[in-house]
Each structure stands twice: as structure tokens, then as C-alpha cells.
Structure 1
Amino acid sequence: MIKVFLPLAEKIENHFYFLRSYMDKANMRTNLINYISLTLLITFVSAFLSFLFALLFLPIFVKSKFLLLFLQIFLPLMVALSSFLLSIFYPINKAYSRNTNIESVLPYVIIHLSSIVRSGVPPYLAFKILSRFKEYGEAGKEFERVVLNMDNFGMNFVVALRDIASKTPSRRMSELLNGIANTTIAGGDLKSYLEYIAERTLVEWRGKRQRYIQRLSTLAEIYIGVVLSSPLMIVSLLSIMALISPKIAGLTITEISALVIYILVPSISIGFSIFLKTTEVEI
């Protein structure tokens, strides 16, 4: 099915070229054209299924002809657009998610790496050891990518480090890998460098976590005010307006209230949850 959309994907590839770097950072093992083809397939299927739902099932629940016609047109378009945007933003979100995961464990990874190197283990073997620790999550996978570059593609240690440094979503991981590469080339003291980087990264992460907790407190107050209080005020206002006019823009007060309760409020809540997920600091 994906092959059906390959010609169209090749034509619009240049418009989505920015996704290539995010796909590298997200560690997605597919090329850009295939991913665009998959996105188009998902968009088409979701639009078709939502159109069938709107055509066959909405008349059972919606009695207003105006609202029914609006939903039968609006729902498939919104589902298709949402599916397309979610697919496009998936690599971006995954890259940011990997960045969060990497930076949350990076100070401990560096300390562990420093301990292994201090014992006299060569850096390549130290990377190979750390890549086997599943507890380090995405940080361990970045070390595994360095090892794969050397084992499968024949890169030397420095080239493998710089290749992954250009693809990792974490700025601090990139600095670490480039720093190790530069220290190796210069013949510097790798142990001292790792100890310094570990201490600095740990301090920065603690500060970032503290700022996140403070911001979360502010966002909680906003959520209570906007998502919990506003619908009550809107429903109260609509109840008063019902005494003046039974309909607004062709919709009854009951239908408008249903739109607010079943569409607007859940949409805001979902958006708020996604925002928190993309900005969270893992502990």
C-alpha cells in the first residue's frame, strides 16, 4: 500500500526535507520518502474511515440537519489533517522525547563511563559495556550507535563519535562525544575531562528540574482556571442566553453546550497533556 503513494512522496519530498535531521535524532531506521509515503497512507485511510463513520453513524446521534452536514464535512477533514500533522510531528516529538530521556541519565552515564575508563579499559570497550545497560535508555542506544559505526561500517573511534554527535538529539550528549573525540586526538586526560563534564552536567540538570517543578506549579493553576472553571462559566452564560434566544447560529443551546463539553474541553485537556509530556523533565 505504501508503494501507491511513492510517486507523490517523491514530488513533495523537498517540502519535508527538514524531517530528515529529526528522523536521525529520533533514531528512525527508514528513509524520508518511505516515511512520507506512510504518512500519506495513514492520512488517506483515516479520512476514508472517518467519512464512513460520519455518513453512516452520525445521523443516528445528531438530529440537527445543519450540525449533521457540518460534522459530515468537518470531521473527515479534521481527522485527515490531524493524522497528517501527527505523523509529520512524530519524528520531532520522538527526537525531543529521546533528548529528555538522554539528558535525565547523562550525568550518571558520564560518571559510570569515567569509572570504567579510570580502570584502564579502552574507550571503545567502555562504550560497548555501557551500550548493554538498558537502564540508561536512549543514552545507551547512542553509545550502541557509536559501536555499530565501528563494527559494521568500519569507522575509527573519532569518526564514529563525531557521526553520532551530529545525529543525537541531546546537545549535551553531542558536546560529550565531540569532547571525547577532541581529547582523544589531542592525547589529553580523558578521565579528568569526563569528571569535569559529569559534575557540570549534573548541576545543570538539577537546575533544569527545579525550574520545571516551578513551571508545573504555574501551569496547574492555569489549568484549573481555564479547563475546569471556564466550561462552567460558558454553560452558565449559555443558560442565560437561552432565555433570550433559543438558537445561536442555527444551533440550539443544548447542541452548543454539547460541543463545549464533548469537544472543546477534551481537546484543551489533550493539548495540555501533550504539552506537559513534551516539556517534562524525567527524574
Structure 2
Amino acid sequence: MKAIVQHRYGTADVLHVAEIDRPEPREGEVLIRVRAAGVDRGVVHLVTGLPYLLRLGFGLRGPRTPVRGMDVAGVVEAVGPGVTRFRPGEEVFGICKGSFAEYATARQDRLAAKPANLSFEEAAAVPVSGTTALQGVGTLQQDQRVLVIGAGGGVGTFAVQVARAAGARVTGVCGPGKADLVRSLGAEQVVDYTRQEVEGRYDVVLDIAGNRPLSRLRRLLVPGGRLEIMGGEGGGRLTGGMHRQLGAMLLSPFVRERLHMLVSPVREDDLRRLAGLLESGQMKPVVGRTYPLDEAPDAVRYVAGNHALGKVVLTL
């Protein structure tokens, strides 16, 4: 089968098309014929091997798993022993091993039925980014004020919609050219970070793609407010943007604000909840660009530029 593989860390140039063996589903796994695969910042970090801390989990000298990609939407081709939730021919979306390929395997508890009102491209935009947004937004009360920094990106577009569906009053921070989109997704106010600084106090601050210091983020919170650091770039090659997450974790016991370092494993319950929001029309994926599988390096370069609109998706 055709796949996008890498055997060393580096720029997107290390990615190339190769013919490899089709994977076989093991106990509790499903084999998926991939129709679309999402590309996010996590893919960029795995391609570059930066920050160095991530290599402790993914391979010191090179990636242990050569095929990139986690977001997937496709059709069940076969099931392994013990699979009871899916049958061949069913359309699914979720998280898998190596979605930048014609076929991929996934645990059955990391998949859900694809919403009928979504295309495969739209469904592939959801799992990683949608789950991150869902867990970051968490439980809200009616009319709470929520600030989403990075509101025009893959996670941010979902976060605005999840918060709005929960009854929050949302302010989105984004770059030029994204304001109309963010407003259409439910943000009451939109701040163009290239022209003005964020003001006010918020019950919840979701920092998805920023690089603001922790001290500045804390000043945006009401007493007892909650900060979720969900991403961000900058920092050194050792920790990258994670230096702020680590700082929040260390500082949290000593301050009134609730400072969280978000780690968002994809759960089946989250996928089902996202499917419900999508099927009801309370949320829609924003697919900014699509690329054919062979152009995966170009897709990764575009995402690495930090200005992608919504989610980037590979099509097969």
C-alpha cells in the first residue's frame, strides 16, 4: 500500500511516499481503508522531533513509528479478534496508527460512527482537535466569559463552538483574515492580535496557539478563574512551548487561579459527544485546505507556518 513515511527527524522534506505492507488488525483493532486524514501541529512536532522532550516517548534518534498521522476517517475493511462494535463496510472516524496511508489500524475504543451529515474530509478534521477543544472547554455555566486564543486554527474553531454550545460568551483572538469566520462560529467579540492587545477578565482562558507569558495570562482571569494551556510555540529546543505548561503546573498550588496543563487523550465518549454536536448542527468542522496524500509534505509545511485557517486535511 502507499504511505507517507519518515525515518529521521527534520523538515517536511524527510517525508516521502513509499510502498509498505498493509497492517493487519490485532486483538481489539479495526483495519480502516483511509479516505481522509487530518494534519495538525502534533504532526509537525513529530516530523521535526522538536522539542527534544517528545523524543523520550517517540524515539530518540528517529521516530519509532515511520508512518505519520492520527486523525482518520474512512471505511472499516476488516476487524480483528474481539471487535464487537464495528463491521466491515461501516464509516468511522477517530484516532489510528499512521493515517497518512491507504490503510491504517485503530483500537475499536478510539473510533465512532462517522456522522452522516459530514464528508470524510470534514470528519477527519475532528478527532484530535475536537477532543482537545472539548476537554479544554470542560464544564461551563451559562453566560461565563471564555477567551479563546488561537480561535481561527484547528483546535480554536472547535473550542469557540463548544463553548458557545454550552452557553458561554466567547471572545476569540485570531490573526487578520480570520475574524469573520470566528465571529460566524459564535464568538461575540473578536480580537485581531496584530492590531490590539486582549483586555478584560475572563472565567476561562484557553491558550491554544499563543506565546504570552504565564503572568500575562493570569491577569486575564477573574479571581478563581481557570487557565488551560493547550498549545503554543516558542521556548527552547528542549521544552519548546511546553515551558509555559510546566510553569503552570508548578505554580498552580500556590495561586488562586486554576492553572492547567492540558493532556487530552482521545476517548470514545468524547468522540460520541462530538458526533452528537455535529449531527445536531451545533458544531461544524472548518477545513481550510485539502491536499492529496502525495502532497503531505506541502500540507505539513503549511501547518508549520502557524497561520493555517481551521484544519488541514489529506484526501485519498
- TM-score, normalized by length of structure 2? 0.20
Question: Which structure would you say has the larger Rg?
Answer: 1
Q: Which has the higher strand share?
A: 2
